[in-house]
Amino acid sequence: MDITISPIIQASELLKLYATENIVIVDASSGKDAKSNYGSKHLKGALFVDLNTDLAEVNKDPSIGGRHPLPKIEDFAKTLSNIGISKTSHVVIYDDQNGSSAAARFWWMLRSIGHKKVQVLNGGIQEAEKINFPMSSKTEIINNTEMYEFNDWKLPMADLDEVEKVSQMENHTVIDVRDADRYNGKTEPIDLIAGHIPGAINIPFSENLKKNGQFLSPSELKIKYENIFKNAKSESIIVHCGSGVTACHTLLAIAHAGLEIPKLYVGSWSEWSRNDKPIATLIGKK
């Protein structure tokens, strides 16, 4: 894909562009209070997307595709049209957790259908507030647009069978971006079983960020991930998390570093751990 803009945008940049360009700003915050929080305060002009209904097709059985499987192509196309996104739109996405909520997931989905002008706001809504970006609690006007047509997801993905086949091969790398306690098997606050996929390495998504909560610079991220990949090809690298959402935070960081985007295992731990697959822990190990 011919991507000509950085996947990350600074709040100061957005403030300048906001007044001069036709930008579609999207609030992708998630959690039980996300919609009400949006109604109380959001970036002026921002529209809301819901992780569970717009960015996923949640099944009753997470063993099939995990907790946040991708929506059907036609449903995602309808979502984009419903919030006024066309193929030429410049889209800026934010959440309240600097991309680890659902902003990075939405970014990945747009990139995966070939959308070129899409960025995630560095530091999220909190950073925008620091520079006095205009806020609103009003209902926003949606620009009418034609149906966004696309045929398939273009970015690489891995499924359960592929992960099981390659996770312990020396020429493949499976990256688990959950926090260390979940990976180690010490605790599991969301899914049924603690631990990790045998052979997977742990690189928490939080390590993509500085102490101030903003992304590391592209050069810092490039050094970090080139060292981890050790010249491996992107098709031999698989990134996952709990349900295929925060894994996109690391994919965003890798893209910000100027590196090829690896495969996303959408089903992630929520699918793996419900299918009687081998589970590793580091409990009791030094």
Q: State the catalytic residues.
A: 241
Label residue 78 exposed, middle or buried (CB < 10 Å: 0-12, 13-18, 19+).
middle
Q: Which residue has the tokens 């945008």?
A: 9
Contacts of 211 (CB under 8 A, 6+ apart): none
- Helix H or strand E segment including 196: none
Q: Whole-angstrom Cα distance, residue 125 to residue 220?
A: 24
- The pair of structure tokens assigned to 25 is 């700003």
Q: Whole-angstrom Cα distance, residue 280 to residue 283?
A: 9
CA 90 to chain centre: 18
Torsion angle (degrees, nearest 10) of CA 236, 240, 243, 244: -60
Q: Whole-angstrom Cα distance, residue 44 to residue 69?
A: 30
Label residue 128 exposed, middle or buried (CB < 10 Å: 0-12, 13-18, 19+).
buried
Give the DSSP letter string of 217-228: PHHHHHHHHHHH
